[in-house]
Amino acid sequence: MLLIRCPYCGDRAEIEFANGGEAHIARPADPMTQTDEEWAQYLYMRDNPKGLIAERWRHAHGCNRFFNALRDTRTDRFVTTYEMGQPRPEIDAAAAAEAAR
Amino acid sequence: MSDTMQLARSGFTLATAADRRRFVLQARPGTLDAAARALGLAEAPAMLATASGGAVTALRLGPQEILLLLDPAGAGDSLAALRTGLDAVAHSLVEVSDRQVGLDLSGALVEPALASLTSIDVALPAFPVGMATRTLLGKADGVLWRTGPEQFRLEIWRSFAPYISGLLDEAARDAAF
Ligand SMILES: [Zn+2]
């Protein structure tokens, strides 16, 4: 069973959660100033890394809150979860290596 | 469907809980504390905890969300106090009385029966008396609230009741072996 640590409820089974896509994508403050290419970049273009990704999750069958998580896309290991609005945490090499293991 | 559900097995009973008016209150944490005080409680219960007093029971299901169960006899007064206490403060208060139904579970086999429906550890040390949370029961959303060492209250959507009670009945039969 894959556990995800909700910042509010603690460790819960993955089945209680919904993925919300990549985190820290800022909507342009004034869309009318954007070129089509810039707007497409905001709407569609994602990093899709092989390794650590910061993404949004929602505790859909729990407290119903969105939060952010750092996950390794190769191993599905979660390094950490953190509240919305906080910057992406810095991860040391040992934690990154553990997530990739 | 009948609104009264009843199951009785050795070590496991299920019965429809006493009638309650139900409200979902959503607001910032400070506002939830103000709401709790207006309802006669000391403060909003901590995350996944519950608080009771008078006609009011409050279940803290999320940082921004409290499920209120009100005894119909005192509900009018409680709601009037709540409206006064939250006057001009941003909040959302939605009545869900008829959306949900409460089921009281009791008996020595309640823990193993519930354990077959949810991924949550329902053993007493991990899920103490007074703890409440929303989770998945089988494939249906539901609120799990421990009211005693061998007692749980489920607050589930009315149309899910036959599905969840059916699963519990089978799980209790299996747990007896
Ligand atoms: Zn949660």
* pLDDT, mean over chain B: 95
- Same domain? For B133 and B170 the reply is yes
* Interface residue A13 vs chain B (CB under 8 A): yes
Range of the domain at B160: 6-18+99-175
Q: Are residues B27 and B51 in the same domain?
A: yes
Q: Assess whether B117 and B148 both reside in one domain.
A: yes
Q: Which chain B residues touch A8 with a CB distance below 8 Å? A: 47, 62-63
CA angle B55, B59, B63 (to 5 degrees): 135
Q: Does A58 touch chain B (CB under 8 A)?
A: no
Give percent above pLDDT 90 in chain A. Answer: 96
- What's the one-letter identity of residue B142? G
User: pLDDT digits over A17-40, tens only?
Assistant: 999 999 999 999 999 999 999 999
SS3 label, residue A13: strand
Instruction: List CB contacts (< 8 A) between A15 and chain B.
Output: 119, 136
Identify whether residues B14 and B79 lie together within a single domain: no
Would you say A57 and A12 are in contact if contact means Cβ atoms under 8 Å apart? no
Do A63 and B141 lie within an 8 Å CB cutoff? no
Establish if B142 belongs to a structural domain.
yes
Task: Give the domain ranges of chain A.
Answer: 3-27+34-100
Instruction: Using the 3D structure, point to which of B53, B73, B95 is the last residue of a domain.
Output: B95
Residue B82 included in any domain: yes
Please say which residue of B95, B116, B145 terminates a domain.
Answer: B95
Q: Does A88 touch chain B (CB under 8 A)?
A: no
Q: Quick one: B49 and B81 in the same domain? A: yes
Q: Select from A62, A85, A91 the least CA-distant residue to A3.
A: A62
Compute, in degrees rounded to 10, the torsion defined by CA atoms A27, A30, A36, A37: -50
Q: How far is the CA of A67 from the centre of ligand 1 (A)?
A: 9
Confidence at residue A65, expressed as pLDDT on a 0 to 100 scale: 97
Asked if A35 reaches chain B (Cβ–Cβ under 8 Å), the answer is no
Give B61 Cα–ligand 1 centroid separation in angstroms.
8
* pLDDT average, residue stretch B37-41: 97
State the total domains in chain B: 2
- Are B171 and B135 in the same domain? yes
Both B28 and B11 in a single domain?
no
Whether residue B103 is found in the same domain as residue B171: yes
Q: What is the pLDDT of residues B86-106, one digit of tens each?
A: 999 999 999 999 999 999 999
pLDDT score of A9? 97
Q: pTM of this prediction?
A: 0.93
Sorting pLDDT into bands at 50, 70 and 90, what band is B1?
very low
Q: What is the pLDDT of residue B3?
A: 59
Q: Is residue B35 part of a domain?
A: yes
Same domain (yes/no): B61, B108: no
Q: How many percent of chain B have pLDDT more than 90?
A: 95
Distance CA(A79)–CA(A76), nearest Å, equals 9
CATH number of the domain bearing residue B55: 3.30.70.1520
CB contact under 8 A, B119 and A12: yes
For position B177, what pLDDT does the model report? 81
B167 and B114, same domain (yes or no): yes
Q: Are residues B42 and B79 in the same domain?
A: yes
Q: How far apart are CA B77 and CA A42, in angstroms?
A: 51
CA distances for B3 relative to A58, B95, B162, angstroms:
33, 19, 10
Domain boundary among B67, B95, B123: B95
Q: Collect all residues of chain A within an 8 Å Cβ-Cβ radius of residue B134.
A: 61-64
On the question of pLDDT at A1 being above 90, the answer is: no
The percentage of chain B sitting over the pLDDT mark of 70, rounded to a whole number, equals 98
Q: What is the DSSP letter of B42?
A: S
Q: Are A61 and A29 in contact (CB under 8 A)?
A: no
Shared domain check, B25 and B14: no
**Residue B3 DSSP symbol:** S
Q: Is the pLDDT of residue B5 over 90?
A: no
Indicate yes or no: CB of B61 within 8 angstroms of CB of A63.
Answer: yes
Of B47, B64, B135, the CB nearest to A61: B135
Q: What is the nearest CA distance from A36 to chain B, expressed in angstroms?
A: 38
Residue B128 has pLDDT above 80, yes or no: yes
Q: Give A3-27+34-100's CATH code, choosing from 1.10.3720.10, 2.40.50.140, 3.30.2270.10, 3.90.76.10.
A: 3.30.2270.10
